[in-house]
Structure 1
Amino acid sequence: MGAHPGPPRRPTSLSGTGAAMVLGCYLLWGFFPLYFKLLDAAGAMEIIGHRITWTLVTCLALVALLHRWDRLRSVLVRPRLVGSLCLSAALVTVNWSVYVYGVNTGRTADAALGYFINPLVTVALAGLVLRERLRPAQWAAIALASFAVLVLVVMQGSLPWISLALAFSFGLYALVKKRVAGQVDALTGLTVESGAVLPLALGYLAWLSVTGASGLQGPGAGTALVLLLLGAGPVTAVPLLLFAAGTRRVPLTVVGLSQYIAPIIQFLLAWAVFGEHISTWRWVSMVLVWSAVAVFAADVLLQASRGPRA
C-alpha cells in the first residue's frame, strides 16, 4: 500500500530473495479467503473495522522498532501528500470491504474474477487518465475482458458488481499511488492510510458494541474469534510490505505475471473447497477473461524479450 522513497529501481536480473517476497505476498493474498471464512461470526464491516485498527497497531509497532518516526512526521506535514494518502485509504477500504463481503457471502469466485480483471483495468486507466500509449495487444486484452463482463450481464441478467467494484477500486488505488510514487515509503504510507480511516473503524466498532450487534457479543464469540480479529492486522500488513520490498528486487515482468497467482488460488478455493456454484455462463466468462490474460501476458513477455529499448 505504500510507495518507495526515491526513484524506483528497475532490476534486470532476478533476485532470489525478491522473487520469494513477491511469490510469498501473492500466495498469502491467494489464501486470504480461508482466513476470512474463519471470521464468519463477525460481519464483513466489523472485520474491516478490526482489520484497519490492528493494521495501524502493527504499523506503529514496526515504525517504533525501525525508528522511522522522522519519516512519518515528514509525511504528515505535507497536506497534499496526506490528502492523496487519504484518498488511497478510502479506495483500499472499499476494496477490502467488498472483498470480505464477497468471501463471507459465498461469492469468492466473483472476487477472483475481479482480480483477474484488475490488471487490465489498471492498464486501461493508464491509457485513459495518464495518457500512456497502449500497445494493440493491450487494447485487445482490455476489449476481450470487457466482452466477458458483457456476456455475464446479458446472459445472467445482472451486473457482476463485486468483480467490477474490486477491479476498479484497486485500479483507482494504483492510479493514486502512482502519483505519490517516490514520496513515501511502504511502511509510512500504510501507517498514514490506516490512520486516515481509523476514526470510521473505531466509530463503527463502538456502535456495534453499544447496540449489542458485535460478533464478539454473539454466540460465535470466544478466544479464537478475538485472536483471529487481532491477527487481521499482521495478516494485512505482512503481504503488503513483502510486495513493496519484493518489487524493488525483481523485474517488472515477474511482478506483472505473478499477480495472477492470487486470483487463480481464490478461484480454485471457490470451486473445489467452498463448493460455490459456477454457472455455465460464468465459466464462459472466465475463459474469455483467461484468454485476455493470456494475450496480456504474452505481450509482456514479448516486450521483455526485446530488452531495455522495448
Structure 2
Amino acid sequence: MGEPQKGILAMAAACVIWGLSAMYYKLVAHVPPLEVLSHRTLWSLVFFGLVLAAQGRLIELGRLLVRPRALAVVFVAALAISTNWFFFIYSVQVGQAVQASLGYYIFPLVAVALGFVFLGERHSAPKWLAVGLAFAAVTGLTWGLGVAPWVSLVLAFTFGLYGLVKRGVPAGPVVSVTAEVLLLAPLALVWLWGVHGLGWQGLTGRNLGAFGQDLGDSLLLAFSGPLTATPLILFSYASKRVSYATVGLVQYINPTLQFIVATLVFRESFTGWHALAFALIWTALALYSAESLRQDRAARRSVINVGTSGTR
C-alpha cells in the first residue's frame, strides 16, 4: 500500500472517530458540560504529553512556549478550540446534535469567507456561490424554526477561527494542540476544584463531581483524552500524505456520521426546514468540492509543467 492510500485510510479513520464521538458524549450527558470539558482538557494533556515524550519531542513544546508571539497565538487558538469543544458537548447533551452536524458542514464555507476577510484570498465564482447557498440555508432555517441555528453557527465560526489562527503557530498539529491544552489546564483544574470542593454549578445549575464517585464515569471521563488525541494524530499523519483537496473531501465523513447518529440513534427532530437547509448545504459542498478538486489538479499540472520545462 502506497503512502497516499495510507494517508486516506488515516484520514477516514480520524473522521469516523470524530463522527461517532457524539455517542461517547451522550454516555456522559448527565455530567455537566464544563466538567466534561475540563476532563477532556486535562486527559488530552496527559495523552499528548506521553506521545511527545515517547517521540522525544517535548523540547519542541518548550521552544514554542518561550516565544511570546507564538504563545499569544496559541492562547487565542486554545480559546477558540475550547469554545468549540464546549458547544459540541453541550449540543449533544441538550439534543441538538443535528445542529452540530450542520455546523461542521458549514465550516468549509465559513473558511472561504474568513480567508477572504482576513487573508485577502480571492475565490472563484463557484466557491462564492457555495457560500451564498450556505447563507440561504441558515436564513431559511432561521425563518422556518423562528430561531437562528446558533449552535451550528458557533461551531462553524469557532472552528473556522481556530483554523485561521493555527496558520500562525510555528509548530506541527500535535505540538501546538499540546500547547493549547497546557494553557487551558489551569482553568480546568480550577473549575474541577470548585466543582468537587465548593459545589460550583456552572451554566447548567447543577454539579456532579463525577470523577472518583463512580468507576464507570471516571473511566469514561479519562477516555476523553485518547478520544481527542487519536484522531488528531491520524489527521496529522494523513495531511502529510494526501492533497489538501482530498483531505477536505474525506473530512465530510465526520458531519455525515454526526447527522446519521443524531437522526437515527438519538432520534432528534428533523423537520422540513432542516431538510431544505441540508439540501442547500449539500449542494453548496458539492460545488465547493468540485471547484477545490479542479483547482488542486490545475495546481499540480502547473507544477509538473514547470518541472518539465526546467529539465529541457
TM-score by length of 2: 0.90
Q: Which position in structure 2 is the counterpart of 1:7? A: none
1:22-45 superposed Cα distances (whole Å, 9 cap, x missing partner): 111111100010111111221111
Unaligned stretches of 5+ in structure 2?
200-205, 304-312
User: Which amino acid is the alignment partner of residue 185 of structure 2?
Assistant: L
Q: Which position in structure 2 is the counterpart of 1:306? A: 298
CA 1:141–1:21 in 2, change beyond 3 Å: closer, same or farther?
Answer: same
2:208 is equivalent to residue 215 of structure 1: yes
Q: Secondary structure at the match of 2:56?
A: coil
Q: Which position in structure 1 is the counterpart of 2:187? A: 200
- C-alpha distance in structure 2 between counterparts of 1:289 and 1:97, whole Å: 24
CA 1:154–1:77 in 2, change beyond 3 Å: closer, same or farther?
Answer: same
2:249 is equivalent to residue 260 of structure 1: no
User: Which amino acid is the alignment partner of residue 93 of structure 1?
Assistant: S
CA 1:114–1:101 in 2, change beyond 3 Å: closer, same or farther?
Answer: same
Q: Which position in structure 2 is the counterpart of 1:3? A: none
Given that residues 31 and 265 in structure 1 are in contact (C-alpha distance below 8 angstroms), is that contact kept between their aligned partners in structure 2?
A: yes
Q: Which position in structure 1 is the counterpart of 2:226? A: 234
Given that residues 216 and 226 in structure 1 are in contact (C-alpha distance below 8 angstroms), is that contact kept between their aligned partners in structure 2?
A: no
Relative contact order, higher structure (CA 8 A, sep 6+): 1
2:180 is equivalent to residue 187 of structure 1: no
- C-alpha distance in structure 2 between counterparts of 1:80 and 1:47, whole Å: 30
- C-alpha distance in structure 1 between counterparts of 2:75 and 2:33, whole Å: 22
User: Which amino acid is the alignment partner of residue 38 of structure 1?
Assistant: L
- C-alpha distance in structure 1 between counterparts of 2:30 and 2:181, whole Å: 24
1:30-74 superposed Cα distances (whole Å, 9 cap, x missing partner): 001011111122111110000001101111111221111221221
| Aligned-pair CA distance for 1:214 | 4.2
Unaligned stretches of 5+ in structure 1?
1-12
User: Which amino acid is the alignment partner of residue 277 of structure 1?
Assistant: S
- C-alpha distance in structure 1 between counterparts of 2:123 and 2:158, whole Å: 21
- C-alpha distance in structure 2 between counterparts of 1:157 and 1:287, whole Å: 19
- C-alpha distance in structure 1 between counterparts of 2:40 and 2:252, whole Å: 24
Q: Secondary structure at the match of 1:40?
A: coil
Given that residues 216 and 225 in structure 1 are in contact (C-alpha distance below 8 angstroms), is that contact kept between their aligned partners in structure 2?
A: no
| Aligned-pair CA distance for 1:154 | 1.6
- C-alpha distance in structure 2 between counterparts of 1:156 and 1:283, whole Å: 12
2:26 is equivalent to residue 37 of structure 1: yes
Q: Which position in structure 1 is the counterpart of 2:307? A: none
Q: Which position in structure 2 is the counterpart of 1:172? A: 161
Give runs of aligned pairs for residues 49-64 of structure 1, distance below 5 A: 49-64=38-53
Structure number having the greater helix percentage = 2
| Aligned-pair CA distance for 1:215 | 2.8
Q: Secondary structure at the match of 1:278?
A: coil
User: Which amino acid is the alignment partner of residue 26 of structure 1?
Assistant: C
| Aligned-pair CA distance for 1:278 | 1.1
Structure 1 segments (4+ residues) deviating >4 Å: none
CA 1:188–1:217 in 2, change beyond 3 Å: closer, same or farther?
Answer: closer
- C-alpha distance in structure 2 between counterparts of 1:40 and 1:127, whole Å: 38
- C-alpha distance in structure 1 between counterparts of 2:3 and 2:63, whole Å: 33
Q: Which position in structure 2 is the counterpart of 1:150? A: 139
Give runs of aligned pairs for residues 75-114 of structure 1, distance below 5 A: 75-114=64-103
CA 1:305–1:74 in 2, change beyond 3 Å: closer, same or farther?
Answer: closer
- C-alpha distance in structure 1 between counterparts of 2:258 and 2:157, whole Å: 18
Given that residues 126 and 132 in structure 1 are in contact (C-alpha distance below 8 angstroms), is that contact kept between their aligned partners in structure 2?
A: yes
Given that residues 29 and 92 in structure 2 are in contact (C-alpha distance below 8 angstroms), is that contact kept between their aligned partners in structure 1?
A: no
1:279 pairs, out of 271, 274, 283, with 271
Given that residues 14 and 251 in structure 1 are in contact (C-alpha distance below 8 angstroms), is that contact kept between their aligned partners in structure 2?
A: no
Q: Larger deviation: 94-103 or 238-247? A: 238-247
Given that residues 52 and 201 in structure 1 are in contact (C-alpha distance below 8 angstroms), is that contact kept between their aligned partners in structure 2?
A: yes
Q: Which position in structure 1 is the counterpart of 2:62? A: 73
2:113 is equivalent to residue 124 of structure 1: yes
CA 1:167–1:81 in 2, change beyond 3 Å: closer, same or farther?
Answer: same
User: Which amino acid is the alignment partner of residue 224 of structure 2?
Assistant: A
- C-alpha distance in structure 1 between counterparts of 2:147 and 2:208, whole Å: 31
User: Which amino acid is the alignment partner of residue 59 of structure 2?
Assistant: D
> How many residue pairs get matched?
295
Q: Which position in structure 2 is the counterpart of 1:248? A: 240
| Aligned-pair CA distance for 1:217 | 4.8
- C-alpha distance in structure 2 between counterparts of 1:265 and 1:138, whole Å: 24
Given that residues 49 and 58 in structure 2 are in contact (C-alpha distance below 8 angstroms), is that contact kept between their aligned partners in structure 1?
A: no
User: Which amino acid is the alignment partner of residue 215 of structure 1?
Assistant: L
| Aligned-pair CA distance for 1:195 | 0.8
Q: Which position in structure 2 is the counterpart of 1:9? A: none
Q: Secondary structure at the match of 1:179?
A: coil
Aligned residues with identical type, % of pairs: 36
| Aligned-pair CA distance for 1:177 | 0.7
